């Protein structure tokens, strides 16, 4: 995109005007590339500054941070919940932004990054511990200053130690045919390390682990440079939680940075019943269990660099919640990020809802243009078509199964419209398969739309008069696929002897009744063909999609035999169902 190519020049000009140091991490990235295998850089502190020239003594970085005198009184002061505080000013101009930036430069702060986003501008300053993040939103006339006494200690390095390598940079949407929703993306960087988005339900943890292990060919453990948690909903973070707390996962992968943006305690009381306080109540403790990992609080306008890709934060929930008003839908707490490099970009919307997407449309406009887009809220949110018309992505990733993609009463008009736009070249549905695309994948202007492994439903097909009478379906016979168990009450650790009869992609899954009734998919699953149609097997002794299942604790469980790779929650596609009890 032209605006991305020009971003480095614009930011550099801004730096010169403000008198900011030229070692700022603008979007052009470092001037020198190095090639190496991934190493654990989690011990590197953020302000990796230039060494002083011979005979010079570098001034110590500030250990305290405050506001300029003229900006001591803000219109809104918002507690960001991690010790940082946002100060919001209305009716401000680019001159105000420049004045505040000049203040921190004069105080001896280093520029961590300086970044332009369309007509909006942001600069992050770091000291020896403290941080000042300043961003100006032109369309709103808003100046925002975020101050923290400690945030500089947890930021990723200004300049990555490694910026190239022998791996093909790629994006993959992991297949999830057992859940209606969920979200799991992996970006492999040129040095073989990864960026992970969310991870989905706990049942996807093994699949993610296998992907990370199988696609890294270097020595040591795979390295996740950044794990982005878009928001605190239990169809997004449970796999991350497994990697943070379960040794079978966390001991095999190194996670360096966890990027998130929680609400403060007051905001959690202002929203719908679907709010989830995990970010504010448990995440910090979970990350402490990941050796060397650091929590990074993302603010709107921040810019990070990971190997060969840049990551910009287009939206953080503080932007909507700073006035403590009720914005309703908890999905608006999603952080929206974009990865970009080499005139190519990928936009990740999380579950952002109407208010958040409308705000971004107003302040960014055509700057939203991206090559790849993860469609918001599994394709069923009320993000308007006008927003996606600004994005104009050629590749659309849908984190959902086929049933949800085809759901007519949840934004079906937007999905159909996007299918018929000339710029849409490929739609990739998580329930259909695992889709990996090389960074920089492009299509000819006249290339037709492709939706791999997808059958167009009747309501999207043109109406035609049948030439003949429809065929009569044969009656169901006792030989149809079925599910049987040796009993329905077990002790913890006792074999669960199961027999399933089916074929093709028929599969059997198990989940607790409680989580099933909350809409979650299976925790463990097996294709009938993998365990043998008609052959008894012990659920506790065979592998599920990728690994041995864990010992099931006491509780009530539901087991379902589901037809043809359809969703665990789909009653219409459930061939057979049995509920069991496991006792201590």
Q: Is the pTM here over 0.85, yes or no?
A: no
Q: State the pLDDT at residue 35.
A: 38
Q: State the pLDDT at residue 24.
A: 37
CATH number of 170-455: 3.60.15.10
CATH topology for 2-30+40-154?
Answer: TATA-Binding Protein (3.30.310)
Q: State the pLDDT at residue 518.
A: 78
The single residue listed with the structure tokens 């921190």 is: 104
Q: State the pLDDT at residue 527.
A: 80
Q: State the pLDDT at residue 94.
A: 97
Check residue 382 and report its DSSP letter.
-
What's the distance, CA 435 to chain centroid? 16
Q: State the pLDDT at residue 312.
A: 98
Q: State the pLDDT at residue 269.
A: 66
Query: Is residue 336 within 8 Å of residue 387, measured between CB atoms?
Result: no
Q: Which DSSP string corresponds to 416-471?
A: HHHHT-TT--EEEETTT--EEEETT----TTPPPB-TT----GGGSPP---SSPPP
Please list the alpha-helical segments (H only) found in 444-557: 513-517, 528-531
Which runs of E-coded beta strand occur in 283-420? 294-297, 303-306, 309-315, 336-341, 344-348, 372-374, 395-398
Rounded to the nearest 10 degrees, the angle between the axes of helix 238-245 and helix 205-214 is 70
Nearest partner of 567 among 30, 178, 90, 278, judged by Cα = 178
What is the chain's pLDDT, residue by residue, as a tens digit (584 residues)?
444 434 444 444 444 444 443 333 433 333 333 334 455 443 334 444 444 455 556 789 999 999 999 999 999 999 988 889 999 999 999 999 999 999 999 999 999 999 999 999 999 999 999 999 999 999 999 999 999 999 999 999 999 999 999 999 999 999 986 778 899 999 999 999 999 999 999 889 989 999 999 999 988 999 999 999 999 998 999 999 999 999 889 899 999 999 999 888 777 666 556 678 889 889 999 999 899 999 999 999 999 999 999 999 999 999 988 886 666 788 999 999 999 999 999 999 999 999 999 999 999 999 999 999 999 999 987 789 999 999 999 999 999 988 888 887 677 789 989 999 999 999 999 999 999 999 999 999 999 999 999 987 766 666 555 555 544 444 444 445 589 999 999 998 888 989 888 887 788 888 889 888 877 777 787 788 777 888 888 888 776 554 456 668 889 999 999 888 788 888 888 999 999 999 98
Query: Is residue 237 within 8 Å of residue 198, measured between CB atoms?
Result: yes
Sheet of strand 426-429: strand arrangement? 303-306, 309-315, 336-341, 344-348, 372-374, 395-398, 426-429
Cα–Cα distances in angstroms (integers) from residue 315 to residues 121, 177, 302, 356, in the given order: 13, 30, 9, 8
Q: State the pLDDT at residue 139.
A: 96
For the chain, give me the number of helices (H) and strands (E)? 15, 28
Reduced to 3 states (helix: H, G, I; strand: E, B; else coil), residue 490 is strand
Architecture of domain 482-583 in this structure: Sandwich (2.60)
Query: Is residue 393 within 8 Å of residue 424, measured between CB atoms?
Result: yes
- Tokens representing 121? 């501008």
For residue 74, what are the β-bridge partners?
none
249 phi/psi in degrees, rounded to 5: -105, -55
530-560 CB burial, b ≥16 within 10 A, e <16: ebeeeeebebbeeebbeeebeebeeeebbbb
- Sorted by where each begins, the domain ranges of the chain are 2-30+40-154, 170-455, 482-583
């Amino acid at each position: 995109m032209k605006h991305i190519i020009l971003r480095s020049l614009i930011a550099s000009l801004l730096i010169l005007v403000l008198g900011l140091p030229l070692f700022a991490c603008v979007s052009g990235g470092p001037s020198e590339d190095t090639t190496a295998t991934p190493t654990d850089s989690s011990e590197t502190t953020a302000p990796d500054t230039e060494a002083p020239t011979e005979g010079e003594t570098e001034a110590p970085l500030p250990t305290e941070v405050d506001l300029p005198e003229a900006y001591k009184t803000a219109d809104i002061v918002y507690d960001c919940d991690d010790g940082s505080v946002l100060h919001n000013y209305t009716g401000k101009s680019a001159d105000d932004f420049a004045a505040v930036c000049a203040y921190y430069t004069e105080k001896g702060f280093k520029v961590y990054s300086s970044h332009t986003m369309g007509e909006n501008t942001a600069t992050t300053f770091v000291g020896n511990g403290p941080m000042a993040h300043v961003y100006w939103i032109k369309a709103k006339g808003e100046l925002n200053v975020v101050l923290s006494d400690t945030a500089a200690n947890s930021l990723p390095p200004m300049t990555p130690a490694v910026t190239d390598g022998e791996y093909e940079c790629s994006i993959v949407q992991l297949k999830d045919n057992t859940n209606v929703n969920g979200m799991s993306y992996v970006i492999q960087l040129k040095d073989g390390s990864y960026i992970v988005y969310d991870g989905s339900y706990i049942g996807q943890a093994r699949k993610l682990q296998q992907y990370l292990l199988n696609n890294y060919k270097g020595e040591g453990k795979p390295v996740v440079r950044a794990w982005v948690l878009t928001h605190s909903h239990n169809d997004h973070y449970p796999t991350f939680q497994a990697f943070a707390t379960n040794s079978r996962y966390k001991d095999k992968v190194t996670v360096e940075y966890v990027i998130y943006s929680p609400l403060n305690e007051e905001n959690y009381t202002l929203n719908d019943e679907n709010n989830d306080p995990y970010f504010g109540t448990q995440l910090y403790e979970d990350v402490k269990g990941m050796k060397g990992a650091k929590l990074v609080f993302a603010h709107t306008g921040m810019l990070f660099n990971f190997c060969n890709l840049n990551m910009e934060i287009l939206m953080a929930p503080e932007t909507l919640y700073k006035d403590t008003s009720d914005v309703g839908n908890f999905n608006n707490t999603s952080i929206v990020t974009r990865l970009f490099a080499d005139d190519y970009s990928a936009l990740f919307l999380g579950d952002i809802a109407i208010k958040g997407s409308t705000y971004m449309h107003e302040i960014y406009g055509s700057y939203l243009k991206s090559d790849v887009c993860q469609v918001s809220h599994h394709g069923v949110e009320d993000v308007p078509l006008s927003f996606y018309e600004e994005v104009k992505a050629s590749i659309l990733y849908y984190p959902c199964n086929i049933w949800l993609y085809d759901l007519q009463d949840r934004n079906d008009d937007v999905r159909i419209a996007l299918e018929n736009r000339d710029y849409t070249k490929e739609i990739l549905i998580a329930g259909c398969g695992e889709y990996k695309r090389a960074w920089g994948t492009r299509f000819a202007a006249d290339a037709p739309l492709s939706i791999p492994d997808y059958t167009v439903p009747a309501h999207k097909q043109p109406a035609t008069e049948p030439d003949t009478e429809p065929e009569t379906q044969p009656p169901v016979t006792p030989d149809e696929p079925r599910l049987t168990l040796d009993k329905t009450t077990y002790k913890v650790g006792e074999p669960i002897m199961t027999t399933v009869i089916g074929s093709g992609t028929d599969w059997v899954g198990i989940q607790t009744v409680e989580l099933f009734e909350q809409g979650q998919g299976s925790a463990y699953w097996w294709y009938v063909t993998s365990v043998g149609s008609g052959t008894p097997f012990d659920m506790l002794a065979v592998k599920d999609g990728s690994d041995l299942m864990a010992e099931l604790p006491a509780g009530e469980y539901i087991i379902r035999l589901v037809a043809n790779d359809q969703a665990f929650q789909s009653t219409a596609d459930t061939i057979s169902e049995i509920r069991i009890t496991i006792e201590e």
